């Protein structure tokens, strides 16, 4: 079992899109984008979702679509040459990865849109009690979670933001 070379982990409800390729992919020097998401890996619209996301990658990155469980099961088989950018659409999924043994130490929180029952804590991030629970679980396991929409912005701890925007 090897330690995978995870260069970045991001929560973005939109999953793989142009900003990921252009901004974050280059910033992190990733060569593999791993979309860890049950729906895009195995859901009824998986083929459609994957086609759109592969097009967004622009051929610059290898792209994989794994369920959360498959990611947990195979991440330690990754080649050391793979610079892995893990992309999830919720903090619950990232918490499941961490609790399953995926060695994530930092989680970048990008876009979590406002939905009924959520409250906005930054321009691009809205959360509910389930999200806070997931962030707290990750923090207890040593994962730093920061809101930072683009690399030029200053990262801010998500739980501190949540506490100051109650």
Catalytic positions? 17
- Report the chain's C-alpha Rg in angstroms: 15
What does the alpha-carbon distance between residue 112 and residue 95 come to, in Å, rounded to a whole number? 15
Q: Please, are residues 88 and 41 in contact by the beta-carbon 8 Å criterion?
A: no
What does the alpha-carbon distance between residue 98 and residue 104 come to, in Å, rounded to a whole number? 6
What does the alpha-carbon distance between residue 72 and residue 76 come to, in Å, rounded to a whole number? 8
Q: How far is CA 127 from CA 8, 41, 54, 158, in A?
A: 21, 24, 28, 10
H or E, element range at 90: none
């Amino acid at each position: 079992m090897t330690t995978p070379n995870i260069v970045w982990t991001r929560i973005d409800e939109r999953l793989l899109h142009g900003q990921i390729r252009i901004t974050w992919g280059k910033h992190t020097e990733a060569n593999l984008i791993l979309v860890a998401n049950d729906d895009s890996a195995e859901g009824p619209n998986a083929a459609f979702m994957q086609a759109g996301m592969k097009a967004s990658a622009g051929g610059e990155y290898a792209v994989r679509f794994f369920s959360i469980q498959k990611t947990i099961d195979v991440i330690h088989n990754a080649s050391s040459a793979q610079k892995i950018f893990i992309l999830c659409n919720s903090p619950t999924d990232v918490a499941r990865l961490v609790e399953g043994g995926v060695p994530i130490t930092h989680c970048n929180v990008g876009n979590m849109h406002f939905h009924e029952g959520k409250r906005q804590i930054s321009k691009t991030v809205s959360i509910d009690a389930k999200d806070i629970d997931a962030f707290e679980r990750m923090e207890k396991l040593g994962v730093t979670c920061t809101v930072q929409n683009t690399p030029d912005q200053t990262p801010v701890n998500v739980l501190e933001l949540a506490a100051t925007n109650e």
